[in-house]
Amino acid sequence: GSGAFVPAVVVGTGYGAAVTALRLGEAGIGTLMLEMGQLWNRPGPDGKVFCGMLDPDRRSTWFKNRTEAPIASFLWLDVVNRPVQPYAGVLDRVNFGGMGVYVGRGVGGGSLVNGGIAATPRRSYFGEVLPQVDAGEMYGRHFPRALAMLRANEIAADWFERTEWYRFARVAREAATKAGMRTRFVPNAYDFAYMRREASGEVPRSALAAEVMYGNNHGKQSLDKTYLAAALGTGKVTIETLHRVTKVRREKDGTYVLTAEPIDAEGRRLAPKEIGCRYLFLGAGSLGSTELLVRARDTGTLPDLGVEVGAGWGPNGNVMAGRANTLLHPTGARQSAIAATCIDDWDDPAAPVFADVAPLPAGFETGISMYLAVTRNPERGTFVHDSATDRVRLRWEREQNAPAVAAAKSFLDRMNRANGTDYRYDLFGPRPKAFGDDFCYHPLGGCVLGRATDAYGRVAGYRHLYVNDGALIPGSIGVNPFVTITALAERNVERVLAEDIAR
């Protein structure tokens, strides 16, 4: 190996990782971040850093021959996905048997590709999901700090009511109201002031040019502009890109040694490196952090890891569905790609649903109202190591999403009845299908807080080894998760800095 040693390593550059690196850097601790994706700051031949959703090229997709968009068809036709050259693109879909998990790849992780929805969970549900966390401290300090750092902002109500770009959301609100459901604004990390200037033609368009999911060229206040910029600003944090961490072991003196496998953007393998550190923070997300620990346990490089590592995974009850509005309710050929509203029906005791009113910026009138429903599905998956291939697989059967589909169906059936409308059956593949239930955007769990770790993300069985990302949350949080991941990471790293780290 190269024999490099640094005080602290953070694996990944998503929400949990970015928070961790900033606070370590501020405390004066030399920190190296290792990210398997690229730094997205160089324009391609078209002058843009990211490609659009409607004309994807190789920048869209992490090493595949074809894009894998979630809404894969229109009128059952395979018109959405495109062949692409394999490349270190920004969006990955990790396909396990019963579940395709979307994740961001690059400096900023999920913040590069996600919808920016900055939702705070209900306090009662948060308390139920993470009972060992002091909710008073979270809601008093850590959530407000996370929202401020992430620059969460709300759409101006008067503009929302009159702009053509949110007709789709007003139509969805009317349908919800008829069904007796409450619609409200939801904060977003996309800068709504910038979006208004897009609408008036003062600045280049991004949300209003159907950009999201494969990156936003403007307006999105992703982590590279917030936490990571601040982390680099401490002068103590560096980021190595296109470095995938594949192995972790521990030396007798307590040093952790990582194997990193660098590649170039076309996927050519460069010489592997070994990097040693005193403090190791895993922020590679639910899939990434869990994979590293499951492999380390089952190949014997960290043999004291327990059975809870790999358990407690869930897709946050994610289900997508579209309703066909009547001709009286066009949703608009022009749609902002950024959601601004949600329907909060979590109080329905039989089938609690929190639904993002999702845009479908196709560029023509579709009449569709799209929803990403977050439901309360108690089913959980488990990660297992396959020794023959050294791959880590997710055990999750397709049927495990049945409770989520049932909740989404109860919610949308009510909406359809109240409005005399029906589902769209043509959006999720070649056969008629109303619910997108075989993919998710919100992977959570695998190294659950208080089980695989202590109450602050310290991994059970090892000193100075931490998980600080979505892997800590046990499969469900009731709303879009990145604000919770960020706030929880703030809380955990604060404690670790105070108690564990010699300065």
Q: Tally Cβ neighbours within 10 Å of residue 264.
A: 11
- Listed in sequence order, the residues at least 6 apart from 14 whose beta carbon sits closer than 8 Å to its beta carbon are 104, 108, 109, 110, 111, 223, 283, 284, 285, 469, 470, 485
Q: Which is nearer to ligand FDA, 130 or 284 (CB)?
A: 284
SS3 content of the chain, % helix, strand, coil (to 5): 30, 25, 50
End-to-end CA distance of the chain: 28
Rounded to whole angstroms, the Cα distance separating 203 from 241 reads 30
What would the two tokens of residue 498 be? Answer: 């105070």
Dihedral angle computed from the Cα positions of residues 90, 94, 100 and 105, in that order, rounded to the nearest 10 degrees: -20
Binding track over 432-471 against ligand FDA, x by CB under 6 A: ---------xx--------------------------xx-
Of 105-113, 166-174, 380-388, 457-465: span binding ligand FDA (CB under 6 A): 105-113
Q: Per CB under 6 A, does 37 bind ligand FDA?
A: yes
Q: Per CB under 6 A, does 361 bind ligand FDA?
A: no
Rounded to whole angstroms, the Cα distance separating 112 from 285 reads 14
Q: Are 80 and 109 in contact (CB under 8 A)?
A: no
Q: Per CB under 6 A, does 220 bind ligand FDA?
A: no
> At its nearest, how many Å lie between ligand FDA and the CB of residue 269?
14
Q: Which of residues 264-283 bind ligand FDA (CB under 6 A)?
A: 283
Residue type, 434: A
Q: Per CB under 6 A, does 385 bind ligand FDA?
A: no
Of positions 187, 288, 317, 367, contacts ligand FDA by CB under 6 A? 288
Binding track over 466-495 against ligand FDA, x by CB under 6 A: ---xx---------xxx--x----------
> At its nearest, how many Å lie between ligand FDA and the CB of residue 350?
25
Q: Which of residues 198-217 bind ligand FDA (CB under 6 A)?
A: 213
Of 41-49, 52-60, 113-121, 159-167: span binding ligand FDA (CB under 6 A): 113-121
Residue type, 315: P
- Listed in sequence order, the residues at least 6 apart from 249 whose beta carbon sits closer than 8 Å to its beta carbon are 256, 257, 296, 301, 302
Q: Per CB under 6 A, does 284 bind ligand FDA?
A: yes
Q: Per CB under 6 A, does 113 bind ligand FDA?
A: yes
Of positions 105, 247, 250, 278, contacts ligand FDA by CB under 6 A? 105
Please name the residue ranges forming H helices in 121-219: 123-129, 135-137, 143-149, 157-162, 167-178, 192-199
Of positions 245, 293, 337, 465, contacts ligand FDA by CB under 6 A? 245
Task: Catalogue the E-assigned strands of 351-417.
Answer: 353-358, 368-375, 382-386, 391-395
> At its nearest, how many Å lie between ligand FDA and the CB of residue 461?
20
Of positions 110, 436, 457, 475, contacts ligand FDA by CB under 6 A? 110
Helix (H) or strand (E) holding 259: strand 256-262
Q: Which is nearer to ligand FDA, 103 or 351 (CB)?
A: 103
Of positions 16, 314, 315, 361, contacts ligand FDA by CB under 6 A? 16
Binding site for ligand FDA (CB under 6 A): 11-17, 34-37, 102-106, 109-110, 113-117, 213, 244-245, 283-286, 288, 292, 441-442, 469-470, 480-482, 485
